[in-house]
Amino acid sequence: MTQPTRRQEARTGRGGRPALLTRERIVTAAVDVLDAEGLDALTMRRVGAQLGVAAMSLYRHVPNRDALLAAVVDHLFAEAVAEPLREDGWADALIRFAAAYRGTLLAHPHAVPLLATHPVDVETGTALLAGLLERFAASGIEPQDALLAVQSVGVYVLGHALAQVGTPPGTDEPPPPADTDTDTDTGDAAAAFYDHWFDTGLRAMVTGFEHRLTGISQGASRPTPTTRTARDAS
């Protein structure tokens, strides 16, 4: 007798009854569609088909496609920060956050343009980053300075991932996977290059924030934002 597949099991409950449709199941199915088929394919109709239900059934849980995309963004960001923080300083915690965020983005390359153009919900993001922000507070760093550091690193991670997956907003698909030994070697070399580039840039950024924020926490004045033009720099 043929055993049911995981997808079939997800669509049905015990006794072959339709599985309960929830917001969580909808978002999980949306991520599956995104990973397999890309951002353009991520529609209410396609997610409904993935779940074996009519698209109209989704609207009780997700009002429209924009809300679905926002839910996917929050879901993936939560995935990136799911690992518990270790007991160490904010700089090391910030580096690990960046590495985990990058890992999630590279695991979901079709999602990179989405996260680059759809910010994480502010309240959701702040709640998910509470443990990281507490590391800054423990070192006497003001909340606005901590948020500036975390947001800056987050933007760096997104930009770097976007460069690596090669799928800027408005394009359809990421590059096809390597399928020959030569292409595999080239792919491995490229991955090593991007890893080194990412790590070097990240550590330079965090070191800069360490210098700046340590000075501020010890009583130095906060630099005044200025706007420089090309003429000023010459």
In tens, the pLDDT along 170-222 reads 445 544 454 445 456 677 888 899 999 999 999 999 999 999 998 765 555 55
Cα of 192 vs its chain's centroid, Å: 21
Q: Scanning the structure block, which residue is given the tokens 């800054």?
A: 136
Alpha carbons 214 and 187: distance in angstroms, whole number: 40
Identity of the residue numbered 204: A
Query: What is the rounded radius of gyration, in angstroms, for the C-alpha atoms of the chain?
Result: 21
Q: Which domains does the chain have, with CATH numbers?
A: 17-63 (1.10.10.60), 84-225 (1.10.357.10)
In tens, the pLDDT along 52-80 reads 999 999 999 999 999 999 999 999 999 99
Say what the pTM is.
0.78
Instruction: Residue 205: name the closest of 137, 142, 159 by CA.
Output: 159
